Amino acid sequence: MDLEAVKRKISELSESLHHYNYMYYVKSESIVSDFEFDMLLKELEELESKFPELIDSNSPSKRVGGTVVKHFETVKHRFPMLSLSNSYSKEEIIEWEARIKKTIEHDIEYVCELKYDGVAIGIRYLNGVFHSAVTRGDGSQGELVSSNVKTIKSVPLTLQGEVPSDFEIRGEIFLPLQEFERLNKERAKENLALYANPRNTASGTLKLQDSKVVSKRNLDCYLYGMYEERSSYTSHYQAVLGAGKMGFKVPLPEQRKIEKVKDVEGILAFIDFWDYERKKLPFEIDGIVIKVNAYNQQEELGYTAKSPRWAIAFKFKAERVETKIESVSYQVGRTGAVTPVANLKPVYLGGTTVKRASLHNAEQIEKLGLHENDSVYVEKGGEIIPKIVGVNIAKRIINAQKVVFIGVCPACNERLIREEGEAQHYCKNTTSCPPQLKGKIEHFISRKAMDIDGLGAETIDTLVEKGLIKDISDLYVLEFNQLIDLDRMADKSVNNLLDGITASKLQPFEKVLFGLGIRYVGETVSKKLAKAFKTMDCIVEASYESLVETDEIGEKIARSIREFIEDEKNIILIEKLKHAGLRFEKEEEVRASSILESQTVVISGTFERYSRNEMKQLIEENGGKNGSSISKKTSLLVAGANMGPSKLKKATDLGVEIIDEADFLKKIKHD
């Protein structure tokens, strides 16, 4: 057989196997026997072994895995993977829908879907062929897990019909209940610890280094979110059905896994249906997702810093169990907040064995009227964090002692402070309280801050206990000889750690600022501060009033920043970090002009010459700020095609200047 004939045969076999996979794993139709499928796959593998130069990266033979990845590459998302705001009551859903109607006054459709209890994934396709798969990560960047996702048989490697040339589809990878039970039976036979629940097992499987092992776990995947620069679809529902025609496993209307409704009554009916029917599903769900259907209405509603305003998740009521409190202990966080924790008689709840539950603060202990050895009711808040929701007083032991919140720090014996208006008690010994110091280091080296690999919690404990680190600046004076003698540290791991510490000096100012761990100064606030003040020196000199006037900086945050700055120890720490070479100035952004300086610009609709992301970039390059919704602060509305009438009306009522794409480009001299 000549090379061209082999190429044709490999192509024929691949096409057939892709089709059979699609029919079986997506359409649930078996059109060939297992034996026939295996013989075709074997024939393909034999040809590929003889002619390795003809192997395609998306060959059906790749489904069985075999790729070993030592470290998953971190990849920046082209489109941020925002999380949804959660609701735990129908009243909140009714309030959410009412808020939507205040902005979108007519012709609203909602799409209701299942909230799969798995791992969020984004898969990119170029010209109809699988390109890459990235986990959610922190929402702005995730881990490249392409080789593992390729083993999931319901994920197509090649698409069918008309497809966009470059797009991403998002969904949820999960472990079917049958597979979860099978894995635990195998582990039980080998006297291994059982997996806690399907969701954690799916997440762990996706991070395995050997894709051959992943392929044997039989993960599954529903895909339902289309993302591209210029979509040919006008609504979410339309895009989901379109994705199904391309070959993706999507939620189907006939199975009522996705449904269009026109009002809140339809939303609540869908919730009620699946609250009962979910018990019959072959996989776990933990709620329902509701989205505004039309893309132009989604765009009109916009986003908060963390989530879209046009979507919400309803979480099903948590399972409740009764168990007994064995003791109460206290944890000290990196900010000095002291949290009481109930140590429980182990009890099975929502797929995991629960041994501890947060009591939150002294007020909660008082509210529960908690006594030693009480029998308590435990739920999982949002089905994630266990919490005590009540006490079975009928089972209380006679003469049981009331649980009283401690007065001194359990780690350093410093007297605890509870400030007016605060629920938490705090230990103010910020410099030498071990849990606070360890927590600050863990926060400082985290991915969202300085992103230093190679420092686990145990190594941090050792460094603090041996006195090698007294504050975060001491990381930058660590030496090879100090680290090599520590447990679990060899030449390579020490060098990797030191290289990571050196590389962290290149992190931008906003990440350094976030890494300092100022109370209430999260990732978004750090970016706002860096943009507004440019340097750490300017923040140090900033008055309380000037901080409050800064975009998204309220009184509480401003007070916290001033309190941090007024502590001389923190000023010394900043100087030490400056001396170490960290960046305390924001790099100047490359600007085409300052034409839009101090102006908040809102874009709405679709545009001919540029994508929405490119339009936003042009606004920033010319000194403007992107706004997500029309308000009194809006300076300019750039109106594209299919813009929502509500946004147009609001802009007109407020006297906001409205221009089209062509006039905008003339305004910034970008013809």
CATH for 3-64 (1.10.10.10, 1.10.10.1100, 3.40.50.80, 1.10.287.610): 1.10.287.610
- 633 annotated active-site: no
pLDDT of amino acid 383: 46
Q: How far apart are CA 547 and CA 549, in angstroms?
A: 5
More confident residue, 643 or 426: 426
More confident residue, 52 or 446: 446
pLDDT-derived band at 526 (thresholds 50, 70, 90) equals very high
| pLDDT at 67 (0 to 100) | 61
Q: What is the mean pLDDT of residues 563-573?
A: 93
Mean pLDDT, to the nearest integer, of 509-534? 91
The CATH classification number of 86-315 equals: 3.30.470.30
260: pLDDT strictly greater than 90: yes
pLDDT of the residue at 351: 65
> What spatial distance separates the first Cα and last Cα of the chain, rounded to whole Å?
58
Q: Which residue has the higher pLDDT, 154 or 493?
A: 154
pLDDT value of position 348: 83
Average pLDDT, the chain: 88
Q: What is the pLDDT of residue 66?
A: 57
- What is the rounded average pLDDT of the residues 371-383? 81
Q: What does CATH list as the number for 600-667? A: 3.40.50.10190
Fold (CATH) for 320-417 = OB fold (Dihydrolipoamide Acetyltransferase, E2P) (2.40.50)
Cβ contacts of 146-150, under 8 Å, gap ≥ 24: 147/65, 147/67, 147/69, 147/211, 148/65, 148/69, 148/205, 148/206, 148/207, 148/208, 148/211, 148/214, 149/121, 149/123, 149/173, 149/206, 149/221, 150/58, 150/62, 150/63, 150/65, 150/211
Topology of the domain comprising 434-506: DNA polymerase; domain 1 (1.10.150)
Residues 288 and 270: beta-carbon distance below 8 Å? yes
Q: Name the band, by pLDDT with cuts 50, 70 and 90, for residue 401.
A: very high
Q: State the pLDDT confidence band at 504, using cuts at 50, 70 and 90.
A: very high
Question: Could you read off the pLDDT of 275-314 as tens digits, one per residue?
Answer: 989 989 999 998 999 999 999 899 888 887 678 999 999 9
Q: 230-248, pLDDT tens digit by residue?
A: 788 999 999 999 999 999 9
Phi and psi angles of residue 93, each rounded to the nearest 5 degrees, phi first:
-65, -40
Where do the domains of the chain lie? 3-64, 86-315, 320-417, 434-506, 509-580, 600-667
For 359-475, strand residue ranges (E) read: 375-381, 385-391, 416-417, 425-427
Instruction: Please tell me the predicted confidence (pLDDT) of residue 27.
Output: 67
Query: What band does 559 get if pLDDT is binned at 50, 70 and 90?
Result: very high
- Percent of the chain's residues with pLDDT above 90: 49
In the prediction, which pLDDT does 584 show?
A: 95
Please give the average per-residue pLDDT across 121-148, as a whole number.
92
Q: How far is the C-alpha of 591 from the C-alpha of 593, rounded, in Å? A: 5
The pLDDT score that the predictor gives to residue 95 is 94
Residue 2 has pLDDT above 80, yes or no: no
Q: Topology of 509-580 in CATH? A: DNA polymerase; domain 1 (1.10.150)
- Residues of the chain with pLDDT > 70, as a percent, come to 95
Asked if residue 589 has pLDDT above 50, the reply is: yes
Whether 509-580 and 434-506 are alike in CATH topology: the answer is yes
415 pLDDT above the threshold of 90: yes
Query: What does the pLDDT read at residue 291?
Result: 97
Query: Above 50 in pLDDT, residue 623?
Result: yes
pLDDT at 423 over 90: no
Average pLDDT of the segment spanning 320-334? 92
Q: What is the pLDDT of residue 59?
A: 79
Which one of the listed residues 115, 315, 380, 440 is annotated catalytic?
A: 115
